[in-house]
Amino acid sequence: MSARPAMIAALKNTIHRVAPDLQFWGYEGGNILAAIAGSGGLVALYSGLQSIAGMPTHNAASGIAAAFTRFPDIIVTTGLAVIVLATIGFSHLFSSDETVSARIWLDRAASIAGIVLVAAALFFGASWITFAAVSFVSASALLRLCRISPVFLKLGGLLLAAGGFGLAGYGLTSEGLWQMDILPVLTALTGLYVIFASMMTYQGGIYECSADRSNRPRNPVIPSAFDPDGWIGRLLETHLDRPMAFIVRSIALPAVFWVPSKTKESAPFLTSMWARLPWRLLTATAAIMTGTQAGFIFGLANAFWAVGDIAIGSFDWKRSHIEDDAHPQNDPAAEDQPHLTETVKPVGD
């Protein structure tokens, strides 16, 4: 056996083992960096915070409203960072098996706070990239809640799609787009393929809701709103499931033409990874090459997101595949891939 396959297998094994951490730090780090880029860079962010601190206020409510009106990107970016840092801190505090309920409430609080910031970003006119970043953070919190109901896969997918629209909007509204600069074009394409990947996440929620019903007793207790049979679950099923499934089947999957058909059919996480990864790397390179501080930070954001994409793809690296790479002469004993709602960890983008 040559050394190269063994090294590749060992690398895959390592990535697969630490995938949840890679996913969290990659996506959430990228979200914070993208929001900072939307604020104009670190210097602009610091200057904006100083200006906010010096604003005269009569009361807290009027002060917050005035700050949102004058500096929407600064306020949303700060709120986004607080959500992410609080999630990190409390996640370590609630890391034991006895604190599962506390972690669920933490994710609920993070998702609500994130959705409030998404609404504020829209209402007060924050930049497209800031809107994208806070949408991704909200999606991450919702997707973590899939441990209690697969409906949150659908809701998280919708917020991921909103973030994709934000990225695409950021690219399409850049002045350089009409001067045929490559960065706005790549950013818009990145946003488009993030939308496609988010629809695949939503479709995963469709499958998981169906599986959840088949594994449940025939006469369950009255379902909660977020249960597959609750009013939100039924609302999504009635109005969005069929259109989403059609778009994935007819547009999203064919658009990822560089991914083999077999991978699309059997490896949804790898498909999602390859739908986004090339555009992340190209956009990161183009952004860094602008030579500006905001461009460099946006390039780093895309590089962090790429790490998160790889972590997502690793969920389809079954143990049998890893062992087969390292020991091709053996007949690998196939292991079932973990259930989707057991493998999905914090997802920001």
Helix axes 151-172, 182-214, angle to 10 degrees: 170
- The mean predicted confidence, pLDDT, of the chain is 83
Structural Rg of the chain based on CA atoms: 21
Per-residue pLDDT reduced to its tens digit, 86-131: 988 887 787 777 777 888 888 899 999 999 999 999 999 999 999 9
Distance (Å, rounded) from C-alpha 26 to C-alpha 348?
A: 8
What residues contact 132, with CB distance under 8 A and at least 6 apart?
34, 162, 163, 164, 165, 166, 167, 169, 170, 191
**What one-letter code names the amino acid at 181?**
D
Helix axes 3-17, 19-38, angle to 10 degrees: 70
Distance (Å, rounded) from C-alpha 127 to C-alpha 124?
A: 10
Closest to 15 measured CA to CA, from 295, 265, 314? 314
Q: Are 76 and 134 in contact (CB under 8 A)?
A: yes
Flag whether pLDDT at 58 surpasses 80. no
Helix spans in the chain (H) = 3-17, 19-38, 42-53, 60-70, 72-93, 100-124, 128-144, 151-172, 182-214, 231-239, 241-247, 253-255, 261-266, 268-288, 293-313, 319-326, 340-343
| Matching residue, tokens 């939308």 | 195
What are the residue ranges spanned by the domains of the chain?
A: 3-215+224-343
Closest to 317 measured CA to CA, from 254, 253, 263, 280? 263
What residues contact 168, with CB distance under 8 A and at least 6 apart?
187, 188, 190, 191, 192, 195
Per-residue pLDDT reduced to its tens digit, 269-322: 889 889 999 999 999 999 999 888 888 999 999 999 999 888 888 877 754 444
pLDDT band at 20 (very low <50, low <70, confident <90, very high): confident
Closest to 296 measured CA to CA, from 43, 23, 24, 78? 43
Per-residue pLDDT reduced to its tens digit, 269-280: 889 889 999 999
Whole-model pTM: value is 0.82
Closest to 137 measured CA to CA, from 40, 34, 17, 18? 34
